């Protein structure tokens, strides 16, 4: 019965809508700080609707979820998963001030005249463009990409201006933790044997940023797209995180705020996935679902 529930749940959450599939921009370009809405791509051919037997009402879905989580706890001695993978921007950390405000404030002494609204709109257009011939935006430290973004967004190509902005976003002044209880929760998870990793589309500044925020020691591994050479939703980055933790993908659950990059990507890798802000709203809730009381 439990394995049947797992199969049904997998089908339930992997079914896209009939005619559209939402593709969300990276969090930096769509959050309340960057205010870009998700793009919608219409499929040329309508996707098939699930058969009536596989459409569940809310109570039936909750029942299957509970049955599935009970099934996993039986497998893992009371825990649903052996490892937790966590998205960085939008889930673990967020910018402390709106991007356009920072670009404008730093740029005033360099002659930047665009308003915050203009900077934001130009940022969206720049971020949405294909990045050269590379399949990656963030290669190594990401400097060429971010130089292009800053220059296009503000109309200013002054190298010193760029370096000030670039360095600022590596400091604790630029970011703060989403959940103030994160440290306590992660300590409880590790004490119960749950391994932890950050999985992020980011450049190599992520590691010094985690150190600046004094949270790098919370995690057993960090999988960064610029180092792995694969960006979410490519399953490769999730598989690398599992490899670093020494677990199988089916032993891990990933938590992130982007349905396309985090949820679909993790599930393509064979991991479970919970959408931050929808399936779970705090790390304490994540821990409880895994089976750890904080």
pLDDT tens figures, 138-184: 889 999 999 999 999 999 999 999 999 999 999 999 999 999 999 99
Query: What is the number of structural domains in the chain?
Result: 2
Q: Is the pLDDT of residue 78 over 50?
A: yes
Task: Give the end of a domain, one of 143, 169, 195.
Answer: 169
Query: For 108, which DSSP code?
Result: G
In a domain, 49, yes or no: no
In a domain, 7, yes or no: no
CA–chain centroid gap for 180, Å, is 18
Please report, rounded to a whole number, the percentage of residues in the chain having pLDDT higher than 70.
Answer: 75
In a domain, 36, yes or no: no
User: Are 139 and 280 members of one domain?
Assistant: no
User: Are 275 and 182 members of one domain?
Assistant: yes
Helix (H, G, I), strand (E, B) or coil at 65: helix
> CA–CA separation, 131 vs 24, rounded Å?
17
Task: Give the end of a domain, one of 140, 169, 198.
Answer: 169
Q: Kindly report the average pLDDT of the chain as a whole number.
A: 83
- Give the structural domain span for 204: 70-94+175-290
Task: Give the end of a domain, one of 123, 148, 169.
Answer: 169
Cis-peptide, bond into residue 75, ω within 30° of zero: no
pLDDT mean over 101-125: 96
Helix (H, G, I), strand (E, B) or coil at 223: strand
């Amino acid at each position: 019965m439990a394995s049947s529930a797992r199969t049904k749940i997998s089908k339930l959450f992997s079914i896209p809508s009939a005619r559209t599939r939402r593709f969300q921009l990276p969090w930096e370009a769509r959050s309340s700080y960057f205010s870009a809405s998700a793009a919608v791509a219409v499929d040329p051919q309508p996707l098939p609707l699930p058969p009536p037997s596989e459409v569940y009402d809310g109570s039936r879905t909750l029942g299957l979820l509970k049955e599935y989580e009970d099934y996993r706890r039986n497998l893992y001695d009371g825990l649903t998963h052996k490892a937790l993978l966590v998205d960085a921007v939008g889930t673990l950390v967020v910018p402390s001030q709106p991007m356009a405000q920072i670009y404008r404030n730093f740029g005033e002494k360099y002659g930047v005249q665009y308003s915050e609204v203009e900077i934001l709109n130009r940022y969206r257009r720049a971020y949405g463009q294909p990045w050269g011939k590379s399949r990656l935006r963030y290669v190594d430290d990401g400097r060429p990409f971010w130089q292009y973004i800053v220059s296009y967004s503000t109309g200013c190509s002054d190298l010193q201006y760029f370096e000030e902005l670039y360095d600022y976003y590596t400091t604790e002044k630029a970011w703060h933790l989403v959940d103030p209880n994160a440290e306590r929760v992660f300590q409880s998870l590790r004490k119960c044997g749950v391994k932890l990793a950050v999985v992020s589309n980011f450049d190599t500044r992520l590691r010094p940023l985690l150190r600046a925020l004094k949270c790098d020691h919370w995690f057993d591994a960090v999988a960064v797209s610029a180092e792995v050479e694969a960006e979410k939703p490519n399953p490769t980055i999730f598989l690398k995180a599992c490899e670093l933790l020494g677990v199988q993908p089916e032993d891990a659950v990933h938590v992130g705020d982007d349905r396309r990059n985090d949820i679909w990507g993790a599930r393509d890798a064979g991991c479970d996935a919970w959408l931050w802000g929808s399936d779970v709203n705090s790390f304490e809730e994540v821990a409880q679902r895994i089976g750890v009381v904080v």
